[in-house]
């Protein structure tokens, strides 16, 4: 899938692009079955809420490891995902990490306002030439804890951040007063809602957040975060583990667009 000049200009202006129905319902069904299978795994790649429910499941795109999944491996290599990422990052890319965020019905919790590059700059990635492809694995509504994006916020550059303690995951979030100032002076946040299979590609400096899942349905999303090969991190002492800061920085090849259902 090739982005048009208009889509590239929109990404440049807003910092994100939405692709309704990017994956078909049969493909989504295969991927959802994989999430159900992987939710039974107990390993360092699988993070649970204190109540025991799944919060995040990492590293589903490789062929080895506890959370390896052939359908997700196929998904990240489809031209639908990989080609637009190559276009916006300007060349060869590799997967920085994959993460499935599970927001169970009623219980799934919020993610504070942040920029992904708040963490990735600390990992040693020299520039914000990074982006994430998010694909909805359930229909997503504002009630079910949709992602919100502030259009154009990537142009603010990297903002100061602080470690947020109010959630079960380590998150570098924007301090409250700064975020209030940004919200009062920026375009209204856009809720990214849609049918299962919808995708959204967003820049690593775009401000985003999401709320609690108050609905009766689980909200599962996969995040395929990519880095330009030329921007691989300069790792310091005690780098984060490979499942969150991949050391597999070979250029990812585009493969078969119909491989997700074949991998089932
Ligand atoms: O899954 C969500 O609702 C938000 C996740 C997010 O922003 C992140 O993992 O960086």
Q: Return phi, psi of residue 194, to 5°.
A: 165, 180
The confidence score (pLDDT) of residue 168 equals 66
Note whether 255 and 74 are within 8 A (CB): yes
Ligand 1 centroid to residue 231 C-alpha, Å: 22
Q: Which residues contact 218 (CB under 8 A, 6 or more apart)?
A: 102, 103, 104, 105, 108, 138
Separation of alpha carbons 179 and 161, rounded Å: 10
pLDDT score of 70 more than 80: yes
Nearest to 81 by CA among 133, 158, 148, 149: 133
Within 6 Å (CB) of ligand 1, which residues are found? 101, 111, 116, 145, 147, 208, 210, 221, 223
Ligand 1 centroid to residue 134 C-alpha, Å: 9
Nearest CA to ligand 1 atom 10: 116
pLDDT per residue over 107-137, tens digit each?
999 999 999 999 999 999 999 999 999 999 9
Written as six digits, the tokens of 85 are 């990422």
Q: Return phi, psi of residue 112, to 5°.
A: -70, 160
Task: List the domain boundaries for the chain.
Answer: 5-247
Q: Is the dihedral of CA 214, 172, 198, 223 positive or negative?
A: negative
Written as six digits, the tokens of 150 are 């502030």
Ligand 1 centroid to residue 209 C-alpha, Å: 7
Atom of ligand 1 nearest to the CA of 134: 1
pLDDT per residue over 171-219, tens digit each?
999 999 999 999 999 999 999 999 999 999 999 999 999 999 999 999 9
Note whether 231 and 125 are within 8 A (CB): yes
Single pTM value for the model: 0.97
- Domain 5-247: give its CATH superfamily: q2cbj1_9rhob like domain (2.60.120.620)
């Amino acid at each position: 899938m090739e982005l048009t000049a208009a889509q590239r200009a929109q990404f440049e202006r807003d910092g994100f692009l939405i692709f309704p129905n990017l994956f078909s319902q049969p493909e989504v069904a295969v991927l959802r079955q994989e999430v159900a299978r992987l939710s039974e795994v107990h390993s360092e790649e699988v993070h649970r809420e204190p109540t025991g429910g799944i919060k995040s499941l990492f590293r589903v795109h490789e062929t080895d490891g506890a959370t390896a999944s052939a359908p997700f491996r196929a998904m990240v290599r489809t031209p639908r995902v990989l080609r637009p990422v190559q276009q916006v990052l300007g060349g060869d890319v590799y997967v920085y990490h994959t993460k499935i965020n599970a927001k169970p019905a009623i219980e799934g919790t919020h993610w504070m306002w942040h920029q992904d590059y708040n963490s990735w700059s600390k990992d040693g990635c020299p520039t914000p030439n990074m982006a994430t492809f998010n694909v909805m694995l359930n229909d997503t509504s504002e009630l079910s804890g949709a992602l919100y994006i502030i259009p154009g916020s990537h142009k603010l550059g990297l903002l100061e951040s602080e470690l947020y303690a109010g959630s079960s995951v380590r998150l570098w979030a924007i301090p409250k007063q700064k975020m209030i100032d940004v919200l009062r002076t920026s375009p209204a946040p856009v809720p990214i809602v849609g049918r299962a299979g919808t995708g959204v590609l967003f820049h690593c400096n775009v401000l985003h957040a999401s709320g609690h899942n108050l609905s009766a349905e689980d909200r599962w999303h996969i995040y395929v975060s990519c880095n330009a090969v030329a921007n691989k991190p300069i790792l310091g002492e005690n780098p984060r583990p490979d499942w969150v800061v991949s050391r597999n920085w070979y250029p990812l090849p585009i493969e078969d667009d119909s491989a997700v259902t074949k991998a089932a």
